[in-house]
Amino acid sequence: MKKKDIITVKIDDVRFPNKAYGFVEGEKVIIKNGIPGQTLSAQVIKKKNGNIEARLLEVLERSPLERQSGFCSHYETCGGCTYQTMKRDEELRMKERQVKTLLENANIEIENWEGIVPSPLETGYRNKCEFSFGDEEKGGALALGMRKKMSHYEVVTLKDCNIIDKDFLAVIQGSLAFFQERSVPFYHRMRHDGSLRHLVVRKGKATGEILVHLVTTDEIPFSLEEYQDMLLTLPLAGKICGILHSVNNGIADVVRSDAMTVLYGHDFFTERLFDLSFKVSAYSFFQTNTEGAECLYSIIKDFAGDVKNKTVFDLYCGTGTIGQIMAKAGSKKVIGIELIEEAVEAANENSKQNNLTNCIFLAGDVLKKVDELTEKPDLMIVDPPREGIHPKAIGKIIAFDAPEIVYVSCKPTSLAVDLQVFQEAGYQVKRVKLMDMFPRTVHVETVVLLSK
């Protein structure tokens, strides 16, 4: 096989995150976005580390693991979901197998493997989505939705979607019509011109509060007041509590803000988990599946055990959700650390609102901020970003010599690397449990209890 050859591949399995593989002429071929049991047509891209990488062209035969219906109309082109067609139980089995294989290959010794918990909702579960402006094809009409599969530029306008709230679709369609009528251009990443960049929509599942956040360049050839008025007249099941506008003149295709203005209401929405209330600001991290988050935090509570009169560190704490749950459970003291200042402000405000006096949240990088902590933790909870714990920070975390650590991971490849370090430092992996927070996508949460 050589570059650009068209080949036929029967998929044997999929490694995390979405690396499907099969064998052709005795050589391993890796193709993104395949499903076990499918027969695919693919084009060879390159040979790397002894493997052949190919690009999916067409599904020639469906897999017995796939369902026959229940897809959105965009599933073949949209990059939002990978396992749209996969049967639910098969998706769960595959995700569990992927994580188990990763940890076994990293020589992680696991005392108790406790399987995977399904999300309470399979559809309409997302409480946050970042949508992109662009075009569906070069020079085409303005589009607003998700990036196309295998594309960094083209966008699929969402007319329906299995994983987001129906109010999000109404906001997308209303916004798209508004900007198309006024011929407002999207920001072109190659030419560095245009206006529209992203639209972020968040909704409190328990409260119905909706936060709409429009991101543009400083070129604004339309009336923000008219846009606000259009949004407020949309027929929604929930209620808009805030409309924000951010200016981003940076080159990178990320949601960020050089300056943010509140056009209507306030810059946060409120969500409830268990019997606690949380104010979530525009850039604060909050789990994107509210019902799933309650399941995830129930696992964390179970792994943490009895925390009464214990000192708990909640590292990478976001808006302090886990820390406040620990505080409510009777911890002597909870100390949270989070990089994003507005998330920390919200966490401290939330704890006051929830009448919790035994927790405090600090703003700063975990790598530097842990140096300021003088207390000795009885329990540490770490919920790092996708890349895992910073190599220097993990040494500082280990130096606290906490008897137990609960590690919450959204990326098992990073988890496997970090667990090797903890294991070498004398921690044993006592329990592992998975939570399928993101049905139909490649992602899965893993909760690990480490004991010294």
Residue 10, pLDDT score: 98
Alpha carbons 20 and 10: distance in angstroms, whole number: 10
Residues with pLDDT less than 70, the chain: none
Verify whether residue 410 is a known catalytic residue. Answer: yes
- 169: helix, coil or strand? helix
- Give the tens place of pLDDT for each residue, 96-141: 999 999 999 999 999 999 999 999 999 999 999 999 999 988 888 9
Residue 143, pLDDT score: 96
Question: What is this structure's pTM?
Answer: 0.92
Residue 259, pLDDT score: 87
Per-residue burial over 143-166, b if 16 or more Cβ lie within 10 Å, else e, is bbbbbbbeeeebbbbbeebbbbbe
Q: Which of 149, 20, 123, 118 is nearest to 70 (CA)?
A: 123
Residue 1, pLDDT score: 85
User: Can you state the angle between helices 224-232 and 166-181, rounded to 10 degrees?
Assistant: 140
Burial class of residue 107 (count of CB atoms within 10 Å of its CB; 0-12, 13-18, 19+):
exposed
Half-sphere exposure of 430 (CA within 13 A, CB side): 15
Q: Which of 140, 125, 255, 153 is nearest to 199 (CA)?
A: 255
Residue with tokens 């993990």: 394
Residue 151, pLDDT score: 77
Yes or no: say if 79 and 147 are a contact pair by the CB < 8 Å rule. Answer: yes
Residue with tokens 């789990």: 287
Q: Which of 195, 199, 185 is nearest to 244 (CA)?
A: 199
What average pLDDT does the chain have?
Answer: 94
Alpha carbons 297 and 276: distance in angstroms, whole number: 12
Active-site option among 81, 317, 359, 410: 410
Yes or no: say if 231 and 251 are a contact pair by the CB < 8 Å rule. Answer: no
Contacts of 252 by beta carbon, 8 Å cutoff, 6+ apart: none
Yes or no: say if 130 and 283 are a contact pair by the CB < 8 Å rule. Answer: no
